[in-house]
Amino acid sequence: MTARLLSFRLPDWPALAAGVVLAGAAVAAPLAAQTYTYARSMNNDLNLCAPGAKGPAVRVTINGLKSGDGNLFVRAYPARASDWLESKRYVMRVDARPQKGSMTVCVPLPATGDFAIAVQHDANGNRKTDVSTDGAGMSNNPGIKKILGLVPRPPSVDKVRFRAGEGITRMTINMQYL
């Protein structure tokens, strides 16, 4: 087989990184170059995490919800510091009605790979973060520290990173209220 020398302009480089076939061999996109559609959202659909579902998706059991009031937001982020907890940089947000105690949420993912999940219980339903009443939880259940005893400081993406495979990944997240 002979390789062909292709010419391309600089704007064509992203197409190469996305997996263009070059001289008979596929060039895979490196993890750091993987692009996502951000700020997608949906309501909780447990059928997407049911037995036999293909995925990739994460079936999250959330423990320790103080009430069934307000809203519950479960956001999946690419496990990159540049995306973690940044506004509209999640790849999926699942909205659900909270249930006091424990509940399960299914979070579909765009691909296999490394992700991080943040759960927010907007207890008063105002769609804002109220540190004194709202609860939070994250993949791997790291503690949420306070800066000067007042403002919560989130953990680094390295502490919440997990690997999602092709099927359904299961995890438990414990809510924390400050």
Taking residue 98's Cβ as centre, other Cβ atoms within 10 Å add up to 24
CB 55 within 8 A of CB 168: yes
- Could you tell me the two tokens for 34? 């993987």
Alpha carbon of residue 36 to chain centroid: 11
Taking residue 25's Cβ as centre, other Cβ atoms within 10 Å add up to 9
Residue 30 pLDDT > 80: no
Residue 61 pLDDT > 50: yes
CB 129 within 8 A of CB 75: no
Q: Which CATH architecture has domain 37-177?
A: Sandwich (2.60)
Which pTM does this prediction carry? 0.81
Q: What is the per-residue pLDDT across 90-117, written as a single tens digit (0 to 9) for each?
A: 999 999 999 999 999 999 999 999 999 9
Q: What are phi and psi of 115, to 5 degrees?
A: -135, 175
Report the range of poorest mean pLDDT among 24-28, 35-39, 79-83. 24-28
User: With pLDDT > 70 as the criterion, what percentage of the chain qualifies?
Assistant: 79
Confidence of residue 149 (pLDDT cuts 50, 70, 90): low
What is the model's pLDDT at position 17?
37
Average of per-residue pLDDT values in the chain:
85
What is the model's pLDDT at position 107?
98
Report the distance separating Cα 85 and Cα 45, nearest Å: 23
Confidence of residue 32 (pLDDT cuts 50, 70, 90): low
What is the model's pLDDT at position 10?
34
Residue 128 pLDDT > 60: yes
For residue 70, count CB atoms less than 10 angstroms from its CB and return exposed for 0-12, middle for 13-18, buried for 19 or more.
buried
Domain residue extents for the chain: 7-36, 37-177
102-133 burial code (b ≥16 CB/10 A, e <16) = ebebbbbbbeeeebbbbbbbbbeeeeeeeeeb
